[in-house]
């Protein structure tokens, strides 16, 4: 017979040392004097010889065979009618069991502890993701003393006592038909398909590329007819063509090309800036003209792109601008949701996953936003003050004349006595974020603005839309 006693039904937090009374659950007899003589040290759990150097869970699953992982045995004589039984295995990927999960186990009459491979695989995937590479698992086992009829059971040593405590190497299920490498590169006819000059694709920084296999890059295309392909890190490291990914002419998606085979190159027949997005699991490829604008829909504007502020770029890398943000928001490449939408990924980077959580603004405020789109990173600098500075202003170049914000922080105004000379607008009392140039099209870091002449003016700085503008109305 096999013992498969559910742990939650009869686990009692008792040590099997000299105890006059043994507390048991209400569903069990109140005492069993024989158990008083059973000590926690009278049982051991050891790794099963059948486990091998590496446990391949997929092979066990295909063979429909439970994994024999351990043996449980008494080290001293036990009371008649009771046996040591393991009903669960705790699994952790850290030696200190900082976090762990339990897998249901079965103990045979011979004391062999087995677990189902699919249950173990589920624990691994929850812990470390879908990467099919070998994983070191740390195991420990609670042991029950179980009566022959299964009606009585007590946990050996109490609720914090475990046995075994050994490590095994495990190969989880591999549900992929090709290897996903950590790094990929774009090779093009513009660099003569030179592997040494291959352009790195950007991943969002999540450790496990099997859980987020999307890679991107943005490049200028100066001549129509640019041909391109993708190579993995292994090919680049070898310094010569091995495996590569060409383009299926029927679908436009990537196709894996073995070493030595001709590569069907992709081709771009326009000039401009282009964004490449590849899913290295499905091999889906998306190549389109680079985004010139990012919108900032969110809680502050009712998730309406038209009511949000925009970020612009001059290099297709950094997208910058002012935005009123409060609570959740996202970046989008279209004035609706039809483009690429960016939410919160792991490790503080952006994610294009449609299910990615919203980004979060720490306060209801105006922010200077800087998005590095190829790197999928962004920074929010909260704007606490905006002032005018310059020899045309009351404080000269030594201090700011403060402007007062509107309720939505998008317009800032003040009545200011100007003199001859020049001025600029700057934020937070320093020069990191400043505006200058043409009052009808203010630019970040722009030139000094000439004073319109001596007099008192109502100054209104409008940051609600591009271009940023300022009006000076003489009183």
Joined tokens for residue 415: 């009545």
Q: Give every CB contact of residue 199 below 8 A, 6+ residues apart in sequence.
A: 185, 186, 187, 188, 191, 217, 219
> Per-residue confidence at 7, pLDDT binned at 50, 70, 90?
very low
Residue 446 pLDDT > 60? yes
Residue 14 pLDDT > 80? no
**Mean pLDDT of all residues in 206-232:** 91
Residue 15 has a pLDDT of 30
* Mean pLDDT across the chain: 90
Residue 19 pLDDT > 90? no
Residue 105 has a pLDDT of 97
d(CA 189, CA 274): 15
pLDDT tens for 282-294 read 999 999 888 899 9
> Per-residue confidence at 26, pLDDT binned at 50, 70, 90?
very low
Longest Cα–Cα distance in the chain: 106
Residue 301 has a pLDDT of 97
Which of 16-20, 236-240, 308-312 is most confident?
Answer: 308-312
Please provide the DSSP assignment of 302-368 as one string. TT-GGGS-EEE-SSSSEEEEEEEEEEEE-EESSSSSSS-EEEE-GGG-EE--TTPPPEEEEEEEEEE
> Per-residue confidence at 37, pLDDT binned at 50, 70, 90?
low
Please provide the DSSP assignment of 382-433 as one string. EE--EEEESTTSTTGGGS-EE-EE-TTSSEEEEEEEE-SSEEEEEETTSSSS
d(CA 264, CA 251): 12
pLDDT tens for 149-169 read 888 888 998 889 999 999 999
First vs last C-alpha separation in the chain: 98
Q: How many CB atoms lie within 10 A of CB 18?
A: 8
Residue 33 pLDDT > 60? no
**Mean pLDDT of all residues in 217-237:** 95
Residue with more model confidence, 32 or 218: 218
Q: Give every CB contact of residue 34 below 8 A, 6+ residues apart in sequence.
A: 79, 80, 81, 82
**Mean pLDDT of all residues in 81-108:** 95
């Amino acid at each position: 017979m096999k013992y498969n006693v559910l742990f939650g039904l009869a686990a009692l937090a008792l040590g099997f040392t000299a105890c006059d009374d043994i507390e048991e659950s209400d569903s069990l007899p109140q005492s069993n004097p024989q158990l008083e003589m059973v000590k926690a040290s009278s049982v051991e759990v050891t790794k099963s010889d059948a486990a091998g150097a590496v446990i391949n869970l997929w092979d066990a699953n295909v063979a429909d065979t439970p994994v024999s992982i351990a043996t449980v045995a008494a080290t001293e004589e036990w009371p008649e009618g009771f046996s040591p039984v393991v009903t669960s295995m705790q699994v952790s990927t850290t030696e200190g069991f900082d976090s762990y999960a339990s897998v249901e186990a079965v103990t045979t009459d011979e004391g062999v502890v087995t677990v189902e491979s699919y249950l173990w695989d589920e624990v691994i995937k929850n812990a470390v993701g879908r990467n099919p590479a070998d994983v070191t698992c740390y195991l420990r086992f609670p042991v029950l003393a179980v009566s022959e009829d299964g009606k009585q059971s007590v946990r050996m040593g109490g609720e914090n006592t475990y046995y075994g405590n050994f490590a095994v190497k495990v190969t989880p299920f591999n549900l992929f038909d090709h290897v996903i490498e950590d790094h990929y590169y774009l090779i093009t006819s513009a660099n003569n398909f030179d592997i040494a000059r291959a352009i790195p694709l950007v991943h969002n920084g999540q450790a496990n590329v099997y859980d987020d296999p999307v890679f991107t890059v943005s490049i200028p295309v100066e001549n129509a007819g640019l041909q391109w392909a993708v190579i993995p890190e292994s090919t680049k490291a070898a310094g010569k063509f091995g495996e590569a990914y060409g383009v299926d002419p029927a679908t436009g998606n990537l196709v894996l090309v073995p070493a030595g085979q001709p590569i069907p190159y992709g081709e771009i027949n326009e000039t401009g800036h282009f964004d490449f997005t590849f899913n290295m699991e499905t091999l889906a490829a998306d190549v389109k003209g680079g985004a010139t604008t990012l919108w900032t829909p969110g809680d502050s504007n009712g998730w309406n792109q038209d009511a949000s502020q925009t970020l612009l770029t001059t290099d297709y890398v950094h997208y910058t601008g002012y935005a009123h943000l409060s609570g959740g928001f996202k970046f989008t490449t279209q004035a609706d949701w039809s483009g690429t939408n960016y939410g919160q990924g792991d490790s503080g980077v952006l994610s294009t996953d449609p299910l990615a959580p919203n980004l979060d603004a720490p306060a209801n405020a105006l922010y200077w936003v800087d998005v590095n789109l190829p790197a999928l990173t962004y920074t929010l600098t909260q704007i606490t003050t905006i002032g005018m500075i310059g020899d045309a202003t009351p404080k000269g170049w030594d201090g700011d004349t403060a402007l007062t914000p509107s309720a939505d922080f998008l317009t800032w105004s003040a009545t200011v006595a100007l003199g001859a000379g020049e001025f600029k607008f700057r934020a937070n009392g320093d020069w990191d974020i400043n505006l200058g140039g043409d009052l009808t099209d203010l630019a970040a870091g722009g030139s000094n603005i000439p004073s319109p002449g001596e007099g008192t003016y109502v100054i209104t700085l409008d940051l609600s839309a591009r271009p940023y503008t300022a009006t000076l109305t003489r009183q």
